[in-house]
Amino acid sequence: MAEFWEKGIRFECQGSGKCCVSRGGFGFVYVTSSDRKRLAKQLGLKTQDFTRDFCKKSDGFFHLVDGEDGNCVFLKDRRCSVYEGRPTQCRTWPFWPETMNARRWNKDVASFCPGVGKGRVWSKQEIEHQIEIQSKADVER
């Protein structure tokens, strides 16, 4: 059976910041060891200091702490203040393994993300590459 993205998906980030706002089940922004090192470097911190100040461990996995408003700690004026160093989870959005079935895509992605249907068409191969990157990060975290 063909995947719903067989012919590609049109997507381009619109910078709305909606994906950076806590929405229950997708509330944590998990960070891998590589993510923590990259973000620490961008912020001019040692990795252990970044981890202490900006991460929390739940169920054995590191994730970013929430900001005062419950949203991503790095969301400033609806923009990512660490965009260049952002975590893998953010880099691969919206092509996560758990969102890549038609029902979840329509319910959890297309219904709220203004980037769906905009911009260039991501090919099946590009989408599958993003899914693979996120799957590896899921294992690493």
Q: Annotate the chain with three-state secondary structure.
A: CCCCCCCCEEECCCCCCHHHCCCHHHCCCECCHHHHHHHHHHHCCCHHHHHHHHEEEECCEEEECECCCCCECCEECCEECCHHHCCHHHHCCCCCHHHCCHHHHHHHHHCCCCCEEEEEEECHHHHHHHHHHHHHHHHHC
The pLDDT of residue 23 is 62
Give the Cα separation of 77 and 55 in Å (integer): 21
For 77-130, write each residue's pLDDT tens digit: 888 999 999 999 999 999 999 999 999 898 889 888 999 999 999 999 999 999
Q: 């998990």: which residue's tokens?
A: 30
Model pTM? 0.87
Of the pLDDT bands very low, low, confident and very high (cuts 50, 70, 90), residue 133 is very high
pLDDT of residue 17: 86
Half-sphere exposure for 85 (CA within 13 Å, toward CB): 19
Dump pLDDT digits (tens) for 40-78.
Answer: 999 999 999 999 999 999 888 999 998 888 889 999 988
Closest by CA to 94, choosing from 38, 26, 30, is 26
Domains of the chain: which residue ranges? 9-140
pLDDT recorded at residue 119: 96
How confident is the model over 1-35, as pLDDT tens digits? 678 999 999 999 998 888 888 665 557 899 999 99
Q: Which two tokens stand for residue 37?
A: 């090192």
